[in-house]
Amino acid sequence: MREFFSMGGYGAYVWSAYFLCAVVLGGAVVLSITNLRTLLRTLSDSQQGASD
């Protein structure tokens, strides 16, 4: 098991790359959800303003 994680001496590079990729992709998901909620809130507000 230790040999698997060390990956022939390149483990630190490989695992840090996986971690960084996961952080970036997770941030992209969070940012997309936040932007979608903001857009839907803005759209809802503009539709309510138009009907008044």
Give the C-alpha separation, 26 to 17, whole Å. 14
Transcribe 1-52 into DSSP letters.
-HHHHHGGGTHHHHHHHHHHHHHHHHHHHHHHHHHHHHHHHHHHHHHHHHH-
4: pLDDT confidence band, cut at 50, 70 and 90? confident
Q: Percent of the chain at pLDDT above 90?
A: 81
Question: What is the pTM for the complete model shown?
Answer: 0.74
Burial class of residue 40 in the structure, from the number of CB atoms within 10 Å of its CB (0-12 exposed, 13-18 middle, 19+ buried): exposed
